[in-house]
Structure 1
Amino acid sequence: MTASPLLRFYLLAFGLAWLGWLPAALGSRGITPFTAPVWQVLLILPAVAPALAAGVVARRSYGTAQANALFAALLQWRVADDRRVGKGVCRAVRLAGRSAGTARRTGRGGHRCAD
């Protein structure tokens, strides 16, 4: 019987997370000499364990090409081409400057918001 990808993900994520927590837990009780600061690097592992498990399970279950297509979406930047967003940010900055009591810059080279 083969395990489902979801079960494999949870088991791998849980195992990797405890691989990072175990030295810290044992070192805090004095059982093992993992109290040195160099071992604290392992505390990064519980934070990234779900992402690592997702990558491993996706590659093993669906193949390299589909896993690459899945993770390629993380590198794509989508920015709205809406000028109202820029105006809103500009107005917020102007309002913050006025409330802080700073003078509005109108000299040469200064940026003015389009109203």
Structure 2
Amino acid sequence: MKSVNEIFQDKLKNTIYTEFMCKKCGKPINQTSITRSSTCDFCGADLHSCINCKFYSKGSHYDCRETVDELVKDKERANFCDYFSVAAITSSGSIATDNKAANAKAAFNALFGD
């Protein structure tokens, strides 16, 4: 019988794409590093933007789960945020999170079903 951790890891492997997606057009991002000047190869959208960041959370303080000091007004434009980390997209289309609550919920669902 598998442990809770093994079940959780199996579920996580089957849930997250290995590629990142542009939140503007939904196409895969094939770049290995994202800089402030990086743009999507398909639609030309800025990639170093709030909407492509794993910390973007509409409704949070400044729409960010990090403790940013300044408001970024245009969430789709390139910015200088030091917290930027490109967001992995799950098979359901939502941003994959690495927080403890989400991990615990996924482990629970893996054990007892969705």
Fold shared, TM-score > 0.5 on shorter chain: no
TM-score (norm. length: structure 1): 0.29
**Relative contact order higher in (CA < 8 Å, ≥ 6 apart):** 2
In our comparison, the structure showing a higher alpha carbon Rg is 1
Task: Give the structure with the larger strand fraction.
Answer: 2
TM-score (norm. length: structure 2): 0.29
